[in-house]
Structure 1
Amino acid sequence: MKILFTCGGTAGHVNPAVALAQMFQTRNPGCEVLFVGADRGMETKLVPKEGYPIETVTITSFRRSLTPAAVGHNIKTLLNMNKSRRQADAILDRFRPDLVVGTGGYASYPVVHAAAARGIPTAVHESNAVPGLTTKTLSKVVDVVMVGFEESRNHYDDPSKVVVTGTPVREDFFRYTRKEARAKLGLTDDKPLVVSVWGSLGASVMNQQITRCITLECGEGNPFRHIHGAGRNYREVLDILEKVGVDLKAHPQVDVRQYIYDMPLVMAAADLVLCRAGASTIAEVTAIARPAVLVPSPNVVADHQTKNASVLANAGGAVLLPESQSSGETLYALVKELLADPARRENMSRALRQMGSPDAAERIYQTLVALLEKKQK
């Protein structure tokens, strides 16, 4: 069996594909896997670290603007599409896959489209609540469309093609109970734990707000524990706290890190999570049913994060706080309000459990196996 996964752009597109590749190889000895991504995409670094080969196509995005720079960029993208089509055909000729699966990113388009035209079994998985341009276009030609939420089904022209599978998250997220995670982190008291993170690249605006939130916490005697991952703004956060007179050594309840490398453990111990609303983050929060305050990034294509956050907020599992309405004071007040209301947080967790798909990887695997068996008949 040969399976080709094509993905890129973000870790949220790559990680589900890697999880599926591992599952296929574990259950089907001798299964060969190839990844295809975009030239210079972050997938060219992420995939080899997982031990998989990757080839690339030359593909770029479309910009929704009529500025001279955007028009020039889009002309280049059109030219690249012809090139990427030839590259995709060459890759398919060499590898001869039995199945092609796209998990998001512009690189998926030429490869999945070329495979569908050849009659090779094809599928796409969309982690976001509302499909992007690539998935929306490919949904017309693939055999199966897999989505994270039931609410996503109506965004496709042919709902009969759509299977609600959820989005896979790492198995580490299910390793610890809250009690076990707190013990492993050395949290011996009963103070609730708040975890905040705005992505590995950080977010200057939100990190500045968090420094104000931390300042207020420390000024009121640290009513809760707080672990914050600052990303590339780490030094900036420490400098701001120093300037306003907050000595973190005097406040051991506050743990400011550059990166939260043990995220599954930390989130398992959390009582409340403050975060963006990217597809992989939403999947993690939902899978382990942690109440969250979601502050969507306003700088993503088609406002995907707001749409993702809305699904959870409408179900009662999270609070959606637009960045334009957020501040250090607002975050601090909201955190105190939620921590003071265990019943509300339990209701939020219950709503998330009803939405969650902890067995998402298994559902996707079974969907793809069924597709292969159907095509082989």
Structure 2
Amino acid sequence: MNVIFTCGGTAGHVNPALALAGYMQERHPDLRVLFVGTPRGMERGLIEKAGYDFRSIEVSSFQRSLSPSGIAHNVKSLKNLALAGSRARAILRDFRPDLVVGTGGYASYPMVKYAAKEGIPTAVHESNMVPGLTTKMLEGYAGCIMVGFEECRQHYKHPEKIVVTGTPVRGDFFRQTREQARQKLGLTDDRPLAVSFWGSLGARFMNEHMLDFFRLEARDGMPFHHIHAAGKGSWDTMRQTLEAEQLTKTPGLDVREYIYDMADVMRAADLVICRAGASTVSELTALAVPAVIVPSPYVTNNHQEKNARILEKHGGAQVILEKDATGEALYRAAGEILRSPELRRSMSAGMAELGIPDATERIYRTVMALRK
């Protein structure tokens, strides 16, 4: 069996495809896999690192600006889109897939569209609460659209095509208990653990507020353990400030550039303070971890706030908009949750209502059914 996965733009689009590809190869050792993305997107590095063959299609975004530069950009994007069809058809002729699965990103559009036109079974997975432009454009072509939550169905013109599968979460997140994860991290007392991060590249604005958060918890004698990832863009500045104020010597405060042992840290966490990207939301719900969420206001269609509001609606998260997310506000919200085991249990139950730990298996069954 030959399968094409097409994705790109963000890790939230690429990771579900990588999870499904690995799962399908375990089930079908003779499976041939090809990934298709854009030539300069982050997907290329992630896919090649995972050991898969990669082909590219030049597809770019459209801008709403009517400025000369915006118009020029859109003219180029139209030309790329016109050429993308012939490139997609060439890839289909060469690889001869039995199935094409798109998980978001501009390259998904020509691959899924032309595969559907040729009668090849197709499916699309949408990680976010509200469909992105590519998913909207493919709704009429795809055999089915897989989503994270039942509430997503209302945002589609063809709700009969919607299948609630959840979004895949790495298997190593479930290979140990919370207690085992705490032992690995060396957390020997009963204080709960707060984990915070703002993305792999960090968010300078939010990290400035986190410095105030650190000062407040250090002032109060570290009532809970705290692991924070500053990200590459903020790490040097944050480290210098922490050293100057001797916060690096504060027991229980662990500030890092990046959390490499994320499976251990997330499994041990009693509260996560974070953005609302699709991958993070799927991890929170699958692990049933309470969260304080500050949605990024800089993403298309404000989809992070829409993701976060679903968690809030089910009682699993407290949402604080970035304009209100001072260090003091975040510390106050985190403290209220961490001081109350009853509130944490309630929020965990709310997250669990949305969690789909077997999302990869559900997606596998869904796409395989399209081939019958």
Shorter-chain-normalised TM-score: which range? over 0.9
Partner of 2:97: 97
Mapped partners of 1:181, 1:95: distance in 2:
43
- TM-superposed CA distance for 1:340, in Å, is 1.6
Mapped partners of 1:160, 1:332: distance in 2:
44
Map 1:202-351 → 2, pairs under 5 A: 202-232=202-232, 233-243=234-244, 245-249=245-249, 251-351=250-350
- TM-superposed CA distance for 1:228, in Å, is 0.3
Instruction: Provide, for residues 111-150 of structure 1, a one-character-per-residue CA deviation record: whole Å limited to 9, x for no partner.
Output: 1111111111000000000000000110111111100111
Mapped partners of 2:55, 2:341: distance in 1:
50
Partner of 2:20: 20
- TM-superposed CA distance for 1:260, in Å, is 0.1
- TM-superposed CA distance for 1:79, in Å, is 0.7
Instruction: Provide, for residues 252-277 of structure 1, a one-character-per-residue CA deviation record: whole Å limited to 9, x for no partner.
Output: 21001101001111011111000000
Given the alignment of the two structures, is residue 198 of structure 1 paired with residue 235 of structure 2, yes or no? no
Partner of 1:371: 370
The AA in structure 2 aligned to 1:260 is I
Mapped partners of 1:355, 1:334: distance in 2:
22
**3-state SS of paired residue (2:223):** coil
TM-score when normalising by structure 1: 0.97
Instruction: Provide, for residues 202-230 of structure 1, a one-character-per-residue CA deviation record: whole Å limited to 9, x for no partner.
Output: 00011111111001111111111100001
Residues 218, 246 of structure 1: 8 Å contact kept: no
Mapped partners of 2:296, 2:282: distance in 1:
16
Mapped partners of 2:261, 2:339: distance in 1:
27
The AA in structure 1 aligned to 2:282 is A
Map 1:105-120 → 2, pairs under 5 A: 105-120=105-120
The AA in structure 2 aligned to 1:158 is H
The AA in structure 2 aligned to 1:77 is S
Mapped partners of 1:246, 1:9: distance in 2:
39
Between 172-181 and 197-206, the greater mean CA deviation after superposition = 172-181
Mapped partners of 2:179, 2:69: distance in 1:
53
Mapped partners of 1:136, 1:360: distance in 2:
22
Mapped partners of 2:161, 2:327: distance in 1:
44
- TM-superposed CA distance for 1:94, in Å, is 0.3
TM-score when normalising by structure 2: 0.98
Mapped partners of 1:105, 1:45: distance in 2:
15
The AA in structure 1 aligned to 2:132 is G
Residues 215, 246 of structure 1: 8 Å contact kept: no
**3-state SS of paired residue (2:370):** helix
Instruction: Provide, for residues 9-65 of structure 1, a one-character-per-residue CA deviation record: whole Å limited to 9, x for no partner.
Output: 111111111111111111112111000000101111110111100000001011233
Residues 272, 292 of structure 2: 8 Å contact kept: yes
**3-state SS of paired residue (2:371):** helix
Mapped partners of 1:68, 1:332: distance in 2:
45
The AA in structure 1 aligned to 2:18 is V
Mapped partners of 2:319, 2:63: distance in 1:
27
- TM-superposed CA distance for 1:157, in Å, is 0.6
- TM-superposed CA distance for 1:68, in Å, is 2.6
Map 1:84-163 → 2, pairs under 5 A: 84-163=84-163
The AA in structure 1 aligned to 2:344 is R
Task: Specify every segment of 5 or more residues in structure 2 that has no aligned partner in the other structure, as ranges.
Answer: none
- TM-superposed CA distance for 1:67, in Å, is 2.8
Instruction: Provide, for residues 265-290 of structure 1, a one-character-per-residue CA deviation record: whole Å limited to 9, x for no partner.
Output: 10111110000000000000110000
Mapped partners of 2:26, 2:168: distance in 1:
16
The AA in structure 1 aligned to 2:236 is R
Residues 215, 241 of structure 1: 8 Å contact kept: no
